[in-house]
Amino acid sequence: METQGKNKLAVIVVAAGSGERLGFGMAKAKVPVGSEPMLLHTLRTVVSARIAGQICVALPAGDADLRALCESLDTDRYPKITTVDGGATRAESVRAALAALDAEVTAVLIQDAARPLTPVEVYHRVAQTLAAGALAVIPALPVTDTVKVVERSASTGIAAECVRSTPDRAALRSVQTPQGFDLITLRRAHDAAAGLNAEQLEAVTDDAMLVEAAGVDVYVVKGSASSLKITGPWDLLLAEALLAGPLAPRWVEG
Ligand code: CTP
Ligand code: MG
């Protein structure tokens, strides 16, 4: 798919996290999935989606290895790849990348490096929905677990938490990336969040929530089970099984 005005769409890849929960003692973007670093999988799919006029990657500050990995892809065959130093939180990493976009960019997709197996079809669905006029769009899947809202229990001697309520599962979605935005809308939403303190910034786990706070409609398209986020070792096991295991040849879901 070639989106109209391709050079006006940038893809930001946030890869500046430390990967505490994965526990490899290295930046998560460097952790091998199969035989290659997680970030390389993610970047390769961004490139093969052929939607980006610019790719901007937020890296752990001063990480020469990951910068070299990005530069190794930066040839005439690929869109321009820019790297920036990320920040202490995901939201700050996004903000650093937003400041480095080319002047002609009018729309942006933001992808977690930690979702190395997001299929190109998901990038296309998000880009097409932006092209159709959405100011914000996210990929999502129905929630399969029953989800509870909990609160601290009054009788901590029995158990620490109690159930407060059970939201209607039919209305719940599990949200993924890439999330797509009109650039002015997203910049405004991030500017409005500039006054948040460190704890509040830590709680900004995706970009759509900042745009929602500004009252903008956020459209939802179908995500993909293979777009899982690698958070802990179990996720890595699953991703490697999808890549190389007996399921791979049968794994046709987009
Ligand atoms: N991210 C980032 N800058 C940060 C924190 C996170 O760019 N300061 C990115 C991560 O690199 C990842 C995505 O945001 O691609 C989602 O974050 P998460 O899964 O929490 O990754 P980490 O922060 O690396 O993991 P952990 O929270 O376990 O340390
Ligand atoms: Mg994190």
Confidence band of 78 (pLDDT split at 50, 70, 90): confident
Residue type, 214: A
Residue 56 has pLDDT above 70, yes or no: yes
Burial class of 225 by CB neighbour count within 10 A (0 to 12, 13 to 18, 19+): middle
Q: Which of the ligands is closest to the CA of residue 15?
A: 1
Using N-to-C axis directions, what is the helix angle for 120-131 and 38-49, rounded to 10°? Answer: 50
The lowest-confidence range among 118-127, 167-176, 196-205 is 196-205
87 in ligand 1 pocket by Cβ < 6 Å?
Answer: yes
Structural domain for 42, as ranges: 3-142+172-244
Pairing assessment for the beta strands 173-175 and 161-165 based on DSSP bridges: unpaired
Domain-embedded: residue 96: yes
Residue 244 has pLDDT above 60, yes or no: yes
pTM confidence score? 0.94
230 in ligand 1 pocket by Cβ < 6 Å?
Answer: no
Instruction: Give mean pLDDT, residues 94-123.
Output: 97
Report which protein residue has its CA nearest ligand 1's atom 23: 17
Residue type, 230: I
Q: What is the mean pLDDT of the chain?
A: 92
Domain-embedded: residue 134: yes
Domain-embedded: residue 94: yes
Q: Which of 50, 54, 195, 64 is nearest to 128 (CA)?
A: 50
44 in ligand 1 pocket by Cβ < 6 Å?
Answer: no
Report which protein residue has its CA nearest ligand 1's atom 13: 112
Instruction: Give mean pLDDT, residues 175-179.
Output: 98
Better-predicted residue by pLDDT, 185 or 193 = 185
Query: What is the C-alpha to C-alpha distance for residues 208 and 213, in angstroms, rounded to an integer?
Result: 9
Ligand 2 (ion): which residues have CB within 5 A? 17
When computed from its CA atoms, the radius of gyration of the chain, rounded to whole angstroms, is: 19
Q: Which of the ligands is closest to the CA of residue 13?
A: 1
> What pLDDT is attached to residue 5?
60
> What pLDDT is attached to residue 194?
85
- Per the CB < 8 A criterion, the answer to whether 73 and 42 are in contact is no
89 in ligand 1 pocket by Cβ < 6 Å?
Answer: yes
Domain-embedded: residue 249: no
Instruction: Give mean pLDDT, residues 185-191.
Output: 95
> What pLDDT is attached to residue 250?
52
Q: Which of 122, 105, 93 is nearest to 7 (CA)?
A: 105
Residue 86 has pLDDT above 90, yes or no: yes
Q: Which of the ligands is closest to the CA of residue 207?
A: 1
Confidence band of 7 (pLDDT split at 50, 70, 90): low
Pairing assessment for the beta strands 80-85 and 54-59 based on DSSP bridges: parallel
Burial class of 132 by CB neighbour count within 10 A (0 to 12, 13 to 18, 19+): exposed
Residue 68 has pLDDT above 80, yes or no: yes
Better-predicted residue by pLDDT, 65 or 156 = 65
Using the Cα atoms of residue 181, residue 187, residue 184 and residue 55 in order, give the sign of their dihedral. negative
Query: What is the C-alpha to C-alpha distance for residues 109 and 13, in angstroms, rounded to an integer?
Result: 8
Residue 147 has pLDDT above 80, yes or no: yes
CA distances from 69 to 29, 56, 59, 159, 237 (A): 11, 13, 11, 48, 23
Query: What is the C-alpha to C-alpha distance for residues 202 and 6, in angstroms, rounded to an integer?
Result: 32
Better-predicted residue by pLDDT, 10 or 79 = 10
Query: What is the C-alpha to C-alpha distance for residues 194 and 208, in angstroms, rounded to an integer?
Result: 16
Q: Which of the ligands is closest to the CA of residue 91?
A: 1
| 32 three-class SS | strand
Domain-embedded: residue 163: no
91 in ligand 1 pocket by Cβ < 6 Å?
Answer: no
CATH of residue 43's domain is: 3.90.550.10
Quote the Cα angle for 76-77-79, to 5°: 80
Structure tokens at 142: 């129905």
Ligand 2 centroid vs 82 CA: distance in angstroms? 22
Residue 247 has pLDDT above 80, yes or no: no
Predicted confidence (pLDDT) per residue in 29-41, tens digit? 999 999 899 999 9
Ligand 1 centroid vs 23 CA: distance in angstroms? 13
106 in ligand 1 pocket by Cβ < 6 Å?
Answer: no
Domain-embedded: residue 151: no
Query: What is the C-alpha to C-alpha distance for residues 212 and 233, in angstroms, rounded to an integer?
Result: 32
Domain-embedded: residue 72: yes
Domain-embedded: residue 55: yes
pLDDT-above-70 percentage for the chain? 93
Predicted confidence (pLDDT) per residue in 210-242, tens digit? 999 999 999 999 999 999 999 999 999 999 998
The domain tally of the chain equals: 1
Question: Considering all CA atoms of the chain, what is the largest pairwise distance in Å, rounded to the nearest integer?
Answer: 65
> What pLDDT is attached to residue 1?
54
